[in-house]
């Protein structure tokens, strides 16, 4: 398994903060699928003085090749429509996506970025209903509840065929 894939006992994954170095921090996939963290950050600093440091680079840090690393880890709804057995509320996709970008070479001043992506996902079936009725209603609270169940070991990878198809679609779209 890749070192960026969440693993027991804490189910943390590596979020890259230094493009091209594999330096980063461990975090849990307790966010919705839309949350992503990119380094360097878009701002030069923040109100706490963290952004702009060596460990949390910002827009003001020296970056001549315009390197960028983005990471996201999530536990999210499979988009399975409501089912009579409530499997749509028990099924979820655990996934991690990492993207690494560098400015491309060209003759003009605005060269396009070249990006490389790794992503991996697994359909999970939780013992209790952790997802909302519909994917559009999912919040961070649902993801955090699923993450707590994941850490407690109250899940299996035995998803229904429908949930697996839904999870594959969500992974393809993220």
Least confident of 8-12, 58-62, 100-104: 8-12
Mean pLDDT of 112-139: 95
Highest averaged pLDDT of the listed ranges 29-33, 82-86, 111-115: 82-86
- Six-digit token pair at 133? 């009725």
- Which of 23 and 78 is assigned the larger pLDDT? 78
Give the separation between CA 21 and CA 40, rounded to whole angstroms: 13
Above pLDDT 90, what percent of the chain? 62
Residue 54 φ/ψ, nearest 5 degrees: -65, -40
Domain ranges for the chain, please list them. 13-173
pLDDT of residue 2: 44
What is the band of 7 on the pLDDT scale with cuts at 50, 70, 90?
Answer: low
pLDDT of residue 5: 65
Mean of all residue pLDDT scores within the chain? 90
Q: Are strands 91-103 and 13-18 parallel, antiparallel or unpaired?
A: unpaired
Using one digit for the tens of pLDDT, what is the confidence trace for 11-55? Answer: 888 888 888 787 888 898 988 999 999 999 999 999 998 888 878
pLDDT at 64 over 50: yes
Give the separation between CA 45 and CA 31, rounded to whole angstroms: 24
pLDDT of residue 1: 36
What's the pTM? 0.87
pLDDT at 109 over 90: no
Using one digit for the tens of pLDDT, what is the confidence trace for 127-152? Answer: 999 999 999 999 999 999 999 999 99
- Please give the radius of gyration of the chain, using alpha carbons only, rounded to the nearest integer: 18
């Amino acid at each position: 398994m890749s070192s960026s894939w969440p693993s027991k006992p804490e189910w943390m994954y590596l979020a890259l903060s230094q493009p091209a170095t594999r330096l980063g921090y461990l975090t849990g996939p307790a966010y919705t699928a839309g949350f992503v963290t990119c380094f360097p950050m878009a701002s030069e600093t923040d109100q706490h003085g963290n952004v702009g440091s060596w460990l949390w680079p910002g827009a003001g840090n020296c970056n001549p090749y315009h390197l960028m690393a983005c990471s996201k880890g999530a536990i999210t709804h499979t988009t399975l429509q409501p089912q009579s057995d409530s499997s749509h509320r028990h099924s979820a996709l655990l996934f991690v996506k990492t993207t690494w970008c560098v400015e491309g070479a060209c003759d003009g001043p605005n060269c396009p970025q070249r990006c490389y992506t790794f992503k991996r996902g697994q359909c999970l079936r939780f013992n209790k209903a952790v997802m909302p009725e519909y994917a559009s209603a999912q919040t961070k609270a649902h993801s955090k509840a699923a993450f707590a169940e994941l850490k407690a070991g109250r899940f299996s990878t035995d998803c229904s065929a429908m949930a697996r198809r839904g999870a594959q679609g969500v992974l393809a779209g993220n």
